[in-house]
Amino acid sequence: MPLILFIHDHAEQDLNRLSQHDEDGVAYLDHVIALIEEEPDLFDNLADEKFYRDYDPPIGLLGITVKRIGVLWEQQIRVMRIRLDDETVIPYRILYCVRHERQPNGALSRHLHILAVAHKSLDCFDYQPNHKLMCRVRNDYANIY
């Protein structure tokens, strides 16, 4: 099944904004996002809630925790988040959704949409339902579906 990664414009803006505060941390996130696109096995692991470790030669040990964002799932908004366990990027969260799409030939493809990137303390973000980032994610998700 083909795997396609989309980075929403808002997520790109988040990365640009956050890089002004932490260039190295955002570079690490950029590398992980590139790995998601390049490595089908890593992409596959992002569909389920779990903690796993993988080894990537440029980074070394890569620990990822994937969880549903409960407050959104309660509203039938299927958004997940990635937390990396490297100490330099622990405060960051990558919010995304996975969409399955039938191609004209009948085959299914999976699309991973990165909707937002947040820094928990800089953005005062703790998945509050009325937080501006959560409102934006709900709107962007609705536009995808």
Can you give the pLDDT at residue 36? 85
CA 98: distance to chain centroid? 10
> Does pTM top 0.75 for this prediction?
yes
Q: Is the pLDDT of residue 40 over 80?
A: no
Q: Is the pLDDT of residue 130 over 80?
A: yes
Compute CA distances 132 → 92, 116, 127, 137, whole Å.
16, 11, 10, 9
Q: Is the pLDDT of residue 57 over 70?
A: no
Q: What is the pLDDT of residues 6-33, one digit of tens each?
A: 999 999 999 999 999 999 999 999 999 9
More confident residue, 72 or 52: 72
Q: Is the pLDDT of residue 41 over 90?
A: no
**What values do phi and psi take at 10, rounded to 5?**
-65, -35
Mean pLDDT throughout 30-46?
82
Terminal-to-terminal C-alpha distance of the chain? 20
What the chain holds in terms of domains, given with CATH numbers, is 3-144 (3.30.2310.20)
More confident residue, 31 or 49: 31
Q: What is the mean pLDDT of the chain?
A: 88
**What values do phi and psi take at 135, rounded to 5?**
-65, -45
